Chains A and B, each alone.
Chain A
């Protein structure tokens, strides 16, 4: 009998199975299904259909229908708009036969109404696509309940240039073991605090090879990197900056982590950042960094989440990768230096960490740590108050088998404990694995006995974001589907904030991996 753990690990292999075009050993059936059914249906429903709607032209919509008549309710819907800025349709699930696909689709339309108001509409639709001699067409298209939101005009405006914040991110290139030049794609970060003590929040902006400081006065920024001892080229590919007062002198000091290099630690003198030896020798490949006073001695410590370079090392095991550089915990000795206390802390996370987020999730007065790991499997550590930790991931219900990019704690339901939002990728193609010929990565006997479970597990990796409600008493419930927070795309940083001052925490999430000159994805 195959254990569930083994089953899930095997199922995880399917992640690459779906994403590889021609996996060796793929059945001919699957290739044929891709070419004849999955790709054309995807093109019809995900692409041509929303494009036709966005044109606001009934003729173009009608052309996609087999019977020469578009659904009246969708024509009524687009008729409400004076112009449509964007329309999207995503297949959520589908019943597939050779010549007929019944799909549940989420349609989203954004545009300007005839009265000038901006409108966002979301509607589930049941769509039937059929294959004829002329190719795939829509046979029927039925709308479910419409949800909509309106606004008179935008609340936000980009004023970076107008306020003096001129900065362009540039990444670094490296050569992989095969000799190929590649871009370092994770990006570099930003930190905010009042560095010069004038009462206005200043900004550190990091480039792969440079650290810049912009000071703020009255909401206007001035670049002062060189005056403050920054702005010269630095080694490594710089990632997370943290501004925090590590020596309790009232001035935020600066820590900047790096992949392919050691972190930099700068002491804030009030007028400059002075590079200091602080004993922060890392494993390298650090992406995530957060501070808290983990041992309660009044000084801020540092937790570092380490990653790996996937071109040098493949994440293993697939779906629950644990072969990256282990994370590290540095305790602040209060004399300007830190000590690596990882071993005694009880933290053992060799996951591919991309994010860490600290909160006292169990309201016992100390700082606990959540770590979101790339390539699968998060980690949650409970602090006993003395920087000794115990892993509680499974015990508290945070052991969803997914890949995570970002995490933030916020009491969104106002019940006094901190809930957790974790950003992850959502796929627009995961419906395809429901096809009977999808090359399952598990042995045929497992596939035959546990098909539903295997498919569910594979789809879990593409689940997207997760919102975990803190139930108090040290457990969580995943509520992203019922709260409509699942899908945002290739999600990176996601944060809680009350942008509209209504007393409720909202979520902002930055999305998108790489945009090339060609708009179509690889």
Chain B
């Protein structure tokens, strides 16, 4: 958002992009709001080394090196791109890559629900949410201590629903859309 701001130093009107040597909400740090699981979040930007000070704009998420840890690609205003590579979390994970057949091939709009003894999680495939950013279409689930997922349900945009059972953690799954009548899913393990 850009608008007229006050200039405390010179007491005249200036525009956001005509501020000369001054700053406008400059040197602000990015935040990482950690979900504490009790309905509250806490900023762990500093603790995780992700509290970058550049003038942030776009953020895209992907696991660029396939190590099961999500990475952050930051496109900043008039500065270098930043690639924050994640490392060393103890938790297990599962990644799901979808290929639509009756649905659009990217499976945008598909919802994937996983269930294990710790509960349920859902993710969906989107392209272009957030601001100026289009993250990886691969869905990433953190699993904590769980080494397997009891059930995976894919709700395709075409309306068909597919299920997989007893899937091991720590892998990237490719799931291709089957005809609605076919209950078995094709499954490729990496």
Binding site for B on A (CB under 8 A): 15-16, 19-22, 39, 85-86, 108, 110, 118-120, 122, 147, 149-151, 153-161, 163, 165-171, 180, 182-193, 199-201, 203, 205-206, 216, 218-219, 239-245, 248-250, 252, 287-293, 296, 298-300, 310-311, 315, 354-360, 365-367, 374-375, 403, 405-412, 414, 416, 418, 423, 425, 482-485, 488-490, 492-495, 497-522
The yes or no answer to B108 lying at the interface (CB within 8 A) is yes
- With a cutoff of 8 Å between Cβ atoms, the chain A residues found around residue B78 in the complex are 168-171
Q: Is the CB of B83 within 8 A of A159?
A: yes
- With a cutoff of 8 Å between Cβ atoms, the chain B residues found around residue A120 in the complex are 42-44, 46-47
The yes or no answer to B129 lying at the interface (CB within 8 A) is yes
Q: Is the CB of A16 within 8 A of B4?
A: yes
Q: Is the CB of A508 within 8 A of B5?
A: no
Which chain B residues (62-87) contact chain A, with CB distance < 8 Å?
Answer: 62-70, 72-87
Q: Is the CB of B121 within 8 A of A290?
A: no
- With a cutoff of 8 Å between Cβ atoms, the chain A residues found around residue B185 in the complex are none
Q: Is the CB of A149 within 8 A of B135?
A: no
Taking a contact as CB atoms closer than 8 A, the residue among A355, A489, A504, A506 that contacts B32 in the complex is A506
- Complex formed: what's the CA distance from A412 to B59 in Å? 19
Q: Is the CB of A192 within 8 A of B123?
A: no
Binding site for A on B (CB under 8 A): 1-9, 11-37, 39-44, 46-50, 52-70, 72-93, 100, 102-106, 108-109, 111, 113, 118-124, 126-138, 140-144, 146, 155, 157-159, 190
Q: Is the CB of B58 within 8 A of A22?
A: no
Q: Is the CB of B85 within 8 A of A159?
A: yes
Q: How far is the CB of B8 from chain A (nearest CB, A)?
A: 7
Q: Would you list 16 pairs from A and B whose C-beta atoms are within 8 A, ordered by A residue?
A: A21-B12, A155-B86, A171-B77, A186-B132, A201-B136, A203-B60, A288-B128, A365-B155, A367-B108, A482-B39, A493-B131, A495-B60, A499-B32, A508-B33, A511-B28, A513-B25
- Complex formed: what's the CA distance from A203 to B59 in Å? 12
Q: Is the CB of B128 within 8 A of A291?
A: yes
- With a cutoff of 8 Å between Cβ atoms, the chain A residues found around residue B12 in the complex are 21-22
- With a cutoff of 8 Å between Cβ atoms, the chain A residues found around residue B146 in the complex are 503
- With a cutoff of 8 Å between Cβ atoms, the chain A residues found around residue B69 in the complex are 499, 501
- With a cutoff of 8 Å between Cβ atoms, the chain B residues found around residue A165 in the complex are 73, 81, 83
A-B contact count (CB 8 A): 501
Q: How far is the CB of B21 from chain A (nearest CB, A)?
A: 5
Instruction: Given A293-B103, A414-B121, A522-B7, answer yes or no on A185-B30 (Cβ-Cβ < 8 Å).
Output: no
Taking a contact as CB atoms closer than 8 A, the residue among B64, B75, B89, B130 that contacts A187 in the complex is B75
- With a cutoff of 8 Å between Cβ atoms, the chain B residues found around residue A193 in the complex are 134, 136-137
Residue among A157, A158, A511 facing the most chain B CB atoms (10 A cut-off):
A511
- With a cutoff of 8 Å between Cβ atoms, the chain B residues found around residue A156 in the complex are 48-50, 72, 84-87
Taking a contact as CB atoms closer than 8 A, the residue among A149, A203, A425, A501 that contacts B143 in the complex is A501
Q: Is the CB of B8 within 8 A of A512?
A: no
In the complex, the chain A residue whose C-beta lies closest to that of B76 is A169
Q: Is the CB of A493 within 8 A of B83?
A: no
- With a cutoff of 8 Å between Cβ atoms, the chain A residues found around residue B135 in the complex are 192, 495
Q: Is the CB of A357 within 8 A of B129?
A: yes
Q: Which 5 A-B pairs have the closest CB atoms?
A: A510-B56, A154-B49, A501-B91, A189-B132, A219-B65
- Complex formed: what's the CA distance from A188 to B74 in Å? 11
In the complex, the chain B residue whose C-beta lies closest to that of A514 is B24
Q: Is the CB of B81 within 8 A of A160?
A: yes
Q: Is the CB of A520 within 8 A of B128?
A: no
- With a cutoff of 8 Å between Cβ atoms, the chain B residues found around residue A492 in the complex are 56-59, 131-132
Q: Is the CB of B40 within 8 A of A356?
A: no
Instruction: Given A157-B85, A250-B105, A511-B31, answer yes or no on A497-B61 (Cβ-Cβ < 8 Å).
Output: yes
- With a cutoff of 8 Å between Cβ atoms, the chain A residues found around residue B26 in the complex are 512-516, 519, 521
Q: Is the CB of A493 within 8 A of B130?
A: yes
Q: Is the CB of B84 within 8 A of A290?
A: no
- With a cutoff of 8 Å between Cβ atoms, the chain A residues found around residue B11 in the complex are 21-22
Q: How far is the CB of B17 from chain A (nearest CB, A)?
A: 4
- 15 further A-B contacts with Cβ under 8 Å, apart from A412-B35, A485-B33, A515-B54, are A19-B5, A120-B42, A156-B86, A189-B58, A240-B132, A288-B131, A311-B15, A358-B128, A407-B129, A488-B30, A504-B36, A504-B37, A509-B31, A511-B30, A512-B30
Taking a contact as CB atoms closer than 8 A, the residue among A169, A216, A245, A416 that contacts B122 in the complex is A416
In the complex, the chain A residue whose C-beta lies closest to that of B125 is A292
Q: Is the CB of B119 within 8 A of A86?
A: no
